[in-house]
Structure formats: C-alpha cells, structure tokens
Chains A and B, each alone.
Chain A
Amino acid sequence: MRLPAFDYLAPGSLKDALEVLAEHGSAAVVQAGGTDLVPRLRQRLVRPDLVVSLKNLNELRGIAREGLTLRIGAMTTLKEVMDHDEVQGQFPGLVEAMASVGSPHIQHRTGAIGGNLLLGTRCLQYNQSEWWRSGREHCHKDGGQVCHVLPDSKECSASCQSDGAVMLVALGAQVVLRNVSGERVIKIPELFSGLGDAPFSLTPDELLTEIRLFLPPPGTGMSYRKLRWRSSIDFPLVSAGTMVTLSNGKFDRVRLALGAVGPAPLLVNEADKALRGRAPDSEAIEEATAQAGKKAEGSIVENTVAPAEYRRKMVAVLARRALSAAIERAR
C-alpha cells in the first residue's frame, strides 16, 4: 500500500536540520530509521507535509566515553549500541533491551536508539489503518474526542512500548535536546509527558541528539526482562528494567522501571524506598515487586491483544525476574 505523499529533505548537517525544523515546526516529522514512522505513515496515523531524514547526520552517530559519561549519538543503531565494548561491559541491561527490540533486521541496520526512545505510544484501537478507523469516531490520539478503550475517559491511555526507554530510565540516563536556539539536557522521565496522545515533551523544533549514560558504581547489577508471547518481533506486553547497587550486602539503591504499563515508562520509586538498607532476600524482593504491581495496575488498560488483567499480574513477575538477575550480577 502506497504511503501518503510528502516532501522530503535530508539535511547534511545538524545545523541545517535544526533550521528546517524551526521553519516547519509541526508540519514536519523527523525520520531516524523509519521503522516506526513508515508504518504510521502507511496507516495515515500521521500525515506530515515534510519528512526530515536524519540519515546524513553522521555527527549524531557514534559512542564516546567522556570521563564517567558514555555519550551515545541518537542515530547510533541498536546493534552498534549492543556490540560496543563499554556498553557490554558496563551496561548489560541495555544490551538486553536493545537485543529484544523487534527483529535482527531492525537492530542491525535501521533501528536507531533515539528512534526507539521516541517510539510512538501504541494502542490496539489506534494503530490501525485509515480505513479501519474511518468507520467510527476518532479517538483522542487520532484527533477526536473519545477513547475506545475507556469509554468515559477524556485522556489517552496509549502505552509506551519502547524497550530502550524503560532501560534508559532504569539507568538514570539523560538526553540532549537541541534546537536553533540552543540545547537542554534532561533526565529521561522528563522527556515523557505522561499523555498517551502527545507522549513527548519535545517542542516541534527540537531534535533529540544524544543519550548520556553514567557509569555505574561498583556493586551495581542490571537487567531487562520483556514479556511477549512470541520470542521475536512483538512489542512488550509488560517489561521491567532495573539497576541495583549493593554495598555490604545491602541494597544501596534500586532503580526499577516498568514498560508497557502506561504512556510513559514507570519508575517505581516505592521499590527504592522499600529496599534501601535491606538485604536482597526473597521477602524484600516480594515486597518491592508487589509494590510495583500495585503501582502499575491502574494504568494498564485493555489496549493489547493480551488481556489487561493478565498483564497486571505479570508486572510483579517480570519485576522479580529482573531484580533477581540484577542482584546476581551485582554480587
């Protein structure tokens, strides 16, 4: 099926790209690898006048270590991230997250880490073809005024199904956003608005150029666990990314982030509060994961093929598996 027509620019430099975005604003969409954008174009979920391709922006590619920071260009492919020595050595959880995205094809060549982070929120009632959607009222995310998942809701519950986003939240990563006027550096949770229909707090003229990771202290372990019913291709039904630091056999710090439970990755601060200073025994873990399950259950809605009730039950399971693996690695 043909895509809708659009104009296309592939600026040769970041400066040029930012100028184009400043000029066109929301009439333009940015294309990184295109693996999320193109299907949405084909379904006419998005109808830009202009597609701005980042393919020529080599300055957005590459991974560099600067002191205790690992700087990853937004256009670095998932495979480049996964295969990098520093990432493999220091961030095995990120390797797991990258490795779980979609399919080998997308990782190898096309999928960019920035694109994965900015993956559009998804909902079974929304991510459908134009013709499919034309038979009834448009939903909030589709420019309308209803929600086909929660009939009385004035808000959109489309969920964040990005693997990278969840793990990067667990890692406490930051992103750099630039426009013609300058740049701002924010923590990833601030990147998410919490709204299903407008999930990112980027302004139309901003470009996400870099992801910054901070080398974890000794005694840190991390892992990413993803639940899906087939072992490839599928988005997560629920996922958990976690980074824990132990000192003297006790939890020093616990970052637990949940994915596919709502419009943004959900950082379970309660887990950190509950576990700090405690030994990583099964009782402590059960408590923390039960908290995680409780926190997420309200925002999990019936927007996937798998029932919401099941996904709610799985939060604690995935959180426990991720935590257990992270604790093993921390030791």
Chain B
Amino acid sequence: MSNKAPKVVIELKVNGEEHDILVPPHLTLLEALREKLELTGTKEGCGEGVCGSCTVLMDGRPVRSCLTLAVEAVGHEITTIEGLAGPEGLHRLQDSFVRHGAIQCGFCTPGMILTAKALLDEIPRPGEQEAREAIAANICRCTGYTKIVEAIVAAGGDDDA
C-alpha cells in the first residue's frame, strides 16, 4: 500500500485565477481549496456528498467538492463562493439571501447560493417548485428552507446570473 504516493504540482483555475499547488492524488478539491488556497467559504459538512455544503461550480455546474479529487479538477473553471461578489458589490443572489432573511447560521449558505446560481443560469426566472427542486440536495438545518426559496425566486431575472 503506497503511503507515500508522490505529490504532483497541478494548476487549478479558481475564481478566474490560476494557482499552482502541490497535492497528493488523494487530496480532494475541497481540501485543496480550504487548505492550499485558504478559501474556507466552501465547507465540509458530511464528507459523503449528501449535505451540499461543499458545493462549488465546475464549468458552471454544481459539483460536490468533497467527492472530487483535486487532480480531477485540473483543466476546469472552478467557482467558489468567494468568486461571486464583484467590485460592484454582492451578487444578486447574495443580496437577495441577505434581504430575505434566508441566512441563519450561514454554514449551508455558500453551497446553497452556488447551487441557486447554477439554477438561475439555466432557468433565469424559476418558480417556487423549480427553486425547491434545485436545492433538494442542499441540507439546511436552521431555516426550514422557506426564506431560501423566496430569496432564490426573488433573485430571478433576465440579467446574467
């Protein structure tokens, strides 16, 4: 059993920036983001790809970063929660979450917002049911989801999400 599988240098493109990092093959994308790039907005909530707190966007689609090896993420565009707000301020979704009281403890929030962003990219004006289904696999223990769904629907619009 190889305990000393050699580390490799990989280039990850995260939030529009390229980073060279040294990783063993068994490091997950989640661990690479949190430990190597110190982007701690993406969370480990369950380690089994169920809770959705580790969600990042890979080429615009939501993936579970705790189930993705860092080496598998090479060559793709990764977006984390830190990449959403711009120089002009919060992303429309972030602002909507804040205004609608859709954030309580905040642990599920990054994964939830990124999942919602992927939804809005595909369906710019989702209805309530569509919003609920999109976040079907993002677990929130605090809010009961009501205001999260409200915030997502309210953020729907025609501009680029």
Show the binding face of A for B, using Cβ within 8 Å: 1-8, 10, 31, 34-35, 38-39, 41-42, 47, 49, 51, 53, 55, 102-106, 108-110, 231-233
Q: Are B49 and A7 in contact (CB under 8 A)?
A: no
- The stretch from B12-20, B57-65, B141-149, B150-158 touching chain A is B57-65
Q: Complex Cα distance A65/B26, Å?
A: 38
- The stretch from B67-75, B79-87, B98-106 touching chain A is B67-75
**Which chain A residues border B61 with CB–CB below 8 Å?**
105, 108-109
Q: Are B67 and A38 in contact (CB under 8 A)?
A: yes
Does B96 make an interface contact (CB < 8 A)? no
**Which chain B residues border A10 with CB–CB below 8 Å?**
71-72
CB within 8 Å for A105 and B2 given contacts A7-B25, A38-B28, A38-B67: no
**Which chain B residues border A34 with CB–CB below 8 Å?**
67-69, 72
Closest to A127 in B: B48
Q: Are B72 and A55 in contact (CB under 8 A)?
A: yes
**Which chain B residues border A35 with CB–CB below 8 Å?**
49, 64, 67
Query: What distance in Å separates the Cβ of A89 from its nearest Cβ neighbour in chain B?
Result: 22
Q: Are B2 and A6 in contact (CB under 8 A)?
A: yes
Question: Of A7, A47, A49, which is in contact with the most chain B CB atoms at under 10 Å from its CB?
Answer: A7
CB within 8 Å for A102 and B137 given contacts A6-B25, A49-B2: yes
Contact of B72 among A3, A53, A104 (CB under 8 A): A53
Closest to A27 in B: B1
Q: Are A108 and B62 in contact (CB under 8 A)?
A: yes
**Which chain B residues border A53 with CB–CB below 8 Å?**
69, 71-72
Q: Are A109 and B58 in contact (CB under 8 A)?
A: yes
Q: Complex Cα distance A293/B118, Å?
A: 42
9 closest A-B pairs by beta carbon, nearest first, are A103-B137, A8-B25, A232-B136, A3-B26, A109-B61, A38-B67, A39-B48, A105-B62, A7-B5
Q: Complex Cα distance A110/B55, Å?
A: 12
Does B47 make an interface contact (CB < 8 A)? yes
Q: Are A5 and B2 in contact (CB under 8 A)?
A: yes
Q: Complex Cα distance A1/B48, Å?
A: 10
**Which chain A residues border B1 with CB–CB below 8 Å?**
4-5, 47, 49
Q: Complex Cα distance A23/B48, Å?
A: 31
Q: Complex Cα distance A2/B31, Å?
A: 8
Q: Complex Cα distance A282/B61, Å?
A: 44
Does B134 make an interface contact (CB < 8 A)? yes
Does B133 make an interface contact (CB < 8 A)? yes
* Number of B residues with CB within 8 Å of any CB on chain A: 35
Q: Complex Cα distance A7/B68, Å?
A: 15
**Which chain B residues border A7 with CB–CB below 8 Å?**
2, 5, 25
Query: What distance in Å separates the Cβ of B35 from its nearest Cβ neighbour in chain A?
Result: 10
Number of A-B contacts (CB under 8 A): 102
**Which chain B residues border A31 with CB–CB below 8 Å?**
69, 72
Q: List 18 A-B contacts (CB under 8 A).
A: A2-B26, A4-B1, A5-B26, A8-B26, A34-B69, A35-B49, A35-B64, A38-B68, A39-B49, A39-B67, A42-B47, A42-B48, A49-B1, A104-B62, A104-B136, A104-B137, A110-B64, A233-B137
**Which chain A residues border B63 with CB–CB below 8 Å?**
105, 109-110
Q: Complex Cα distance A103/B61, Å?
A: 13
CB within 8 Å for A104 and B133 given contacts A8-B69, A109-B63, A233-B50: yes
Contact of B136 among A1, A4, A38, A231 (CB under 8 A): A231
Q: Complex Cα distance A232/B61, Å?
A: 18
- 18 new A-B contacts, CB < 8 A, other than A35-B49, A38-B67, are A2-B27, A4-B1, A7-B2, A7-B25, A8-B71, A31-B69, A34-B68, A38-B68, A39-B49, A39-B67, A51-B25, A53-B71, A55-B72, A104-B133, A109-B59, A109-B61, A110-B64, A110-B67
Closest to A234 in B: B50
Closest to B135 in A: A104
Q: Complex Cα distance A3/B25, Å?
A: 10
Interface members, chain B 26-54 (any A CB < 8 Å): 26-28, 31, 47-50, 52
Query: What distance in Å separates the Cβ of B127 from its nearest Cβ neighbour in chain A?
Result: 16
**Which chain A residues border B24 with CB–CB below 8 Å?**
5
Q: Complex Cα distance A314/B25, Å?
A: 43
Q: Are A104 and B3 in contact (CB under 8 A)?
A: no
**Which chain A residues border B27 with CB–CB below 8 Å?**
2-3
